[in-house]
Amino acid sequence: MSAVAAKYDELQALDVQVLSVSTDSHFTHKIWQEQELSKMVEGGVPFPMLSDSGGRIGSIYGVYDEEAGVDIRGRFLIDPDGVIQAMEVLTPPVGRNVAELIRQVKAFQHVRATGEATPSGWQPGRTTLKPGPELVGKVWEVWKTDEAF
């Protein structure tokens, strides 16, 4: 969460709304913000930290662990129409990659604006694909695997 907070200005420039949701109480969030997060990121986490006590939100998104009473960590990219375009859920010991989150936001925004497809590892300015019958069997002519890295 602190890594997302460190890149919050960049996410805002991309017109991204960031929310944090956990089963922790508002009081726990306040203490965590004051005792930990504010020491990791100047000013602490600048986006809302919502409490999902009882796991109702986590259940809707399929990440609530009823036995443990917690939401499993994950991230969801939801488009302006309210449709989940991507989700990533990892076990707690493995952290998520904020640079990949930002890359994906840019890719989804590009796709939405142009109708083009973004191949593996796409970055702004790199090759895109124009879906259609003329592309079938010819992707290899337009895009090379080394562009994924």
* The token pair that represents 47 in the structure block: 């986006």
Any alpha helices (H) in 7-146, and if so which ranges?
Answer: 8-13, 26-32, 38-40, 56-60, 98-114, 139-142
pLDDT in tens, the chain (149 residues): 999 999 999 999 999 999 999 999 999 999 999 999 999 999 999 999 999 999 999 999 999 999 999 999 999 999 999 999 999 999 889 999 999 999 999 999 999 999 999 999 999 999 999 999 999 999 999 999 999 99
> Domain ranges in the chain?
2-94
pTM here is 0.91
- CATH for 2-94, options being 3.30.70.600, 3.40.50.880, 3.40.30.10, 2.60.40.10: 3.40.30.10
